[in-house]
Every structure is written in structure tokens, then in C-alpha cells.
Amino acid sequence: GAVVSQHPSRVICKSGTSVKIECRSLDFQATTMFWYRQFPKQSLMLMATSNEGSKATYEQGVEKDKFLINHASLTLSTLTVTSAHPEDSSFYICSARDPHTGNQPQHFGDGTRLSIL
Amino acid sequence: AQTVTQSQPEMSVQEAETVTLSCTYDTSESDYYLFWYKQPPSRQMILVIRQEAYKQQNATENRFSVNFQKAAKSFSLKISDSQLGDAAMYFCAYNFGNEKLTFGTGTRLTIIP
């Protein structure tokens, strides 16, 4: 089945560091990918929709300058948390749609646990 | 806007017994998708089962089945013969067309040995 690879799985870094998270569709081309944030014991919150070759669409309340999204190819989207601070610590997870299966269901990466010291 | 409601924050079931997780949603659309995702402690999002709204027949995947009541906008998940590995957070989700996936708040399922 369709596979989405997310890297890294765990990041621990100092405050002020910028962190890049990659999301790759391994066996299909994804024109649309999604980035979610999940706080402990809560549901997934959509941060933005990443569109290949165009600007990402951010959800209300998500700072686009803080969370930079680039979708430069049909198999790769990246989320960069710029100048990360402890409040950015969270679990980030991406998903992608496979157009060959009618865009359903979304396929999720394994997530990235980000810890800012 | 579409909403998905899971009214049971926590559920528990004895191993080998059957448990039902509830989910209701609100939409004005007629053709959409509904999903149940499982999130174990590893935090992977695992698709358990999906239902296309235009199909009247309830979806089934081995021990997992749904009771889809379109008029009532209800989409419950039944887990039969519960196993220890079924312990996880379960999220109900709704999707219409190319719009975003809308998740419920989740139900934490505990399996009692």
C-alpha cells in the first residue's frame, strides 16, 4: 500500500534553532500533503495544506513565518520550524493523498516528536 | 463547517469481549467519506476502517465493523473479540472531496486482561 515516510522521528534541540521535518511519499506522487500538530492527549490539529508548486494554505492562527512549508516536488514536502522555542515542542505528523486511489484515504507518516530545550 | 463528535473520552473492555465506540458528525453533503483511525502509544496513525457515504452496506474489516446511520449522521465502530493490541486512541474522521480531514477528539480504549 501507499507509504509516507517522515524524518526525523525525534528531534531535541536548543531554543532558537530552526528544525526541518521532511515528509515523503514513497510510491506515489502527492500534489497535496498536510501538516498536523498534536498536543498530548489531544486530537490532530491541521496546521497547513501543502500544495506542490504553489504556496501552502495555512489554518487560522498558524504563523506562516514560524512554520515554513515547502513542497518543491511531487514526493516531498518540508516543514521548517524557525527559531524554535519550548512552546513549539509537540508531535508533528504529515499526511498525503494518493490521486490514484481517489485521494482517499490520507496516508500518514509516523510523526516527529520535537522537543525544544 | 463540518464537525465530528466523539462523546466517549475513555472506554474499557474485557479482553475477548465486544466494545462499541460512538461517533456523530454534522454535514450538509451527501457523498463523503468516514474513517476510524487507531493511534497506539507509538503515535502512528493507522487506518482501521473506512466508509463511503453512498454505500449503504456497513464496512467490515475482520474484527472491526461499523454501524453507519446516514440519516442520523452516526458512525460507530464495533470491535469484536477485543485483544490487548487494540488498546489505543481511536479517532473518527470525516472527509468531503478535496477538503481537509476533520477529526473527532478521540476515545482512549483500554483492554482489561
C-alpha cell at B36: 476510524
Which tens digit of pLDDT belongs to each residue from B41-76? 999 999 999 999 999 899 999 999 999 999 999 999
B39 min Cα distance to partner chain A (Å): 10
**A95 and B45 in contact by Cβ < 8 A?**
yes
Res B78: pLDDT: 98
- DSSP string across A40-57: TTS-EEEEEEEETTS--E
* Cβ contact, residue pair A34, B100, below 8 Å: yes
Contacts of A9 in chain B (CB under 8 A): none
Question: Of B43, B95, B103, which has the smallest distance from its Cβ to A111's Cβ?
Answer: B43
**pLDDT value of position B66:** 98
Q: What pLDDT is recorded for position A112?
A: 97
Best mutation site among A45, A108, A112, A113 for testing chain B: the one with the most B CBs within 10 Å? A108
pLDDT above 90: percentage of residues in chain B:
93
Q: Assess contact for A50 and A71: CB atoms under 8 A.
A: yes
A42 Cβ under 8 Å from any chain B Cβ:
yes
Which residues of B fall within a CB distance of 8 Å from A108?
A: 37, 44-45
Reported as a pLDDT band with limits 50, 70 and 90, residue B23 is very high
Predicted local confidence at residue B47, as pLDDT: 94
3-state SS class at A89: coil
Report the residue of chain B nearest A103, measured CA to CA. Answer: B98
Q: Indicate if the pLDDT at residue B1 is higher than 70.
A: no
**For position B113, what pLDDT does the model report?**
96
Chain A partners of B107 at a C-beta cutoff of 8 Å?
A: none
User: In this model, does residue B98 exceed pLDDT 80?
Assistant: no
Inter-residue contact B31 to B53 (CB < 8 Å): yes
Contact: A105, B47; criterion CB under 8 Å: yes
Query: For position A53, what pLDDT does the model report?
Result: 85
Per-residue pLDDT tens digits of chain A, which is 117 residues long: 668 999 999 999 999 999 999 999 998 998 899 999 999 889 999 999 998 888 999 999 999 999 999 998 999 999 999 999 999 999 999 999 888 777 678 899 999 999 999
| CA A106 to each of CA A62, A64, B21, B72, B97: distance values in angstroms, whole numbers, following the listed order | 22, 23, 22, 25, 12
Mean pLDDT taken over chain B: 95
Measured between beta carbons, which residues in chain B are less than 8 angstroms from residue A92?
Answer: none
Asked if B95 and A104 come within 8 Å (Cβ–Cβ), the reply is yes
Q: Which helix (H) or strand (E) holds A3?
A: none
- pLDDT, mean of residues B4-17: 97
| Cα–Cα dist A108/A111, whole Å | 8
Collect all residues of chain B within an 8 Å Cβ-Cβ radius of residue A106: 95, 101
Residue A49 sits at the chain B interface (C-beta within 8 Å) = yes
Q: CB distance from A27 to chain B under 8 Å?
A: no
